[in-house]
Structure 1
Amino acid sequence: MLVLRSSPASPFGRKVKLSASILGLTDRIRIVDADTLNPEDSIRQQNPLGKIPALVLESGEVLYDSRVIVDYLDHLAGGGIIPNGPERYSALRDQALADGIMDAALLQVYEGRFRPEDRHEPRWVSHQADKVRRGLDHAEAHLSEAGQPLHIGQIALACALGYLDLRFGGRWRESYPRLVAWLADFESRVPAYAQTRVTP
């Protein structure tokens, strides 16, 4: 059995979980929580960077970075969420955009988590928040058409929006009505989205 090292709140881990569900691979993966701050956690041996998600294969080999893991799962399933042909690179580009939104959101969270409040750097936080805003602006304009065939870019976008709901109180919803409707459609089509939701 494959072993996914992750944590419930990780948007990148959630991307892997949703991908596995859509590909019909959930019953082949055991999820084991990882504590990336604990030096005794084996995640640091499984991924030298100590980051999640990491996928331990049946051979003992470990894959890390959600993009690599999702590509492996798509190959294992015989395809399904990473298109072939011209659509492939637009889907991968959309994934990169959503991953960038998640990265910038995580950096804002880490600023609050790892620095005392009197040492927060407002310019840094604003710089990351602006990346999120520009990413959402683009997604609202170009990626918010409901009912499209599911691909990895859409899965990643749903996870980015879910993380903004979790860590930023869903304030994005006030400014992006098309993405709100798009996410509702995505959730209706992907039951695992609700099943993997973490409440604040």
Structure 2
Amino acid sequence: MKLHWSPKSPYVRKVMVCAHELGLVERLELVRSVAAMLTPNERLMQDNPLSKIPALVLDDGTVLLDSVVICEYLNALADGTLFPAAPEYKWHSLRWHALGDGLLDTLILWRNERERETPLPMLLQAFERKTVACLALFDQEAERLTAAPFAIGHVAIACALGYLDFRFDAFGWRERAARLAHWYADVEARPSIQATAPGPG
């Protein structure tokens, strides 16, 4: 399988965390792909017309798009437990997955806006308010996160918090969410999280 990949993309990181957790890393051929918003990547578009990563090209040529789909495919391929079937875990995990991805979407828009020549203050404030609200919610649910088996919701939230550290280090999210920070400290120790930390390139 061929994975269009970047060491800085939090969505690619989600896929790689899952691959590590499921023992599938060795089956992935990582293809370094740049997916800049203003410059469509012609090579990448041969597999994904949206010029976005991650994109997973299966051995039969089928291309799976979006981290949500790719993570679920890898879990099914390995008969894994990252997408729980039991109702008492399934819906919490999928909800956390959606919230973690939503926070990532917000953070990427926030970063793009702040790097514009003339950022719009109202947009910056809106992105910050949404981020603070997500952190407050995750902080309230830190005990439930700890009690639940590690699954895709944990992966998404961990990747969002890692992106905060990577791109918003001055934001100081840990001071705003102490219980969440305690949970994340344990998650950060997982080999899959350590192996996928954002890097240069």
- Normalising by structure 1, report the TM-score: 0.91
Matched, 1:10 2:12: no
Aligned residue number for residue 165 of structure 2 = 165
**Bigger mean CA deviation after superposition, 149-158 or 173-182:** 173-182
CA drift of 1:136 comes to 0.9
The Cα offsets for residues 11-37 of structure 1, whole Å up to 9 and x where unpaired, read as: 111010001111111111121121113
CA drift of 1:187 comes to 2.0
Contact 2:114 2:124 in 1 (8 A): no
CA drift of 1:107 comes to 0.3
Cα distance between partner residues in 2 of 1:90 and 1:159: 17
Cα distance between partner residues in 2 of 1:9 and 1:155: 16
Cα distance between partner residues in 1 of 2:45 and 2:99: 27
Contact 2:9 2:198 in 1 (8 A): no
For 1:27, the aligned partner's letter is E
The Cα offsets for residues 82-109 of structure 1, whole Å up to 9 and x where unpaired, read as: 0003121221111000001110000011
Aligned residue number for residue 151 of structure 2 = 151
SS in 1 for 2:56: strand
CA drift of 1:39 comes to 3.7
SS in 1 for 2:156: helix
Aligned residue number for residue 63 of structure 2 = 62
SS in 1 for 2:46: helix
Aligned residue number for residue 98 of structure 1 = 100
SS in 1 for 2:86: coil
Contact 2:94 2:153 in 1 (8 A): yes
SS in 2 for 1:146: helix
Cα distance between partner residues in 2 of 1:120 and 1:172: 22
Cα distance between partner residues in 1 of 2:142 and 2:75: 22
For 1:35, the aligned partner's letter is V
The Cα offsets for residues 155-200 of structure 1, whole Å up to 9 and x where unpaired, read as: 1111000000000006101111111111111122x21211211258
CA drift of 1:73 comes to 0.6
For 2:66, the aligned partner's letter is D
Cα distance between partner residues in 2 of 1:98 and 1:162: 11
Matched, 1:73 2:90: no
CA drift of 1:77 comes to 0.7
SS in 2 for 1:46: coil
Contact 1:146 1:185 in 2 (8 A): no
Aligned residue number for residue 179 of structure 1 = 180
Cα distance between partner residues in 2 of 1:199 and 1:32: 15
Aligned residue number for residue 142 of structure 1 = 141
Taking a change above 3 Å as real, the CA distance of residues 42 and 192 of structure 1, as seen in their structure-2 partners, is: same
For 2:57, the aligned partner's letter is V
More contact order relative to length (CA 8 Å, sep ≥ 6): 2
Unaligned stretches of 5+ in structure 1? none
Cα distance between partner residues in 2 of 1:40 and 1:70: 23
Stretches (4+) displaced over 6 A: none
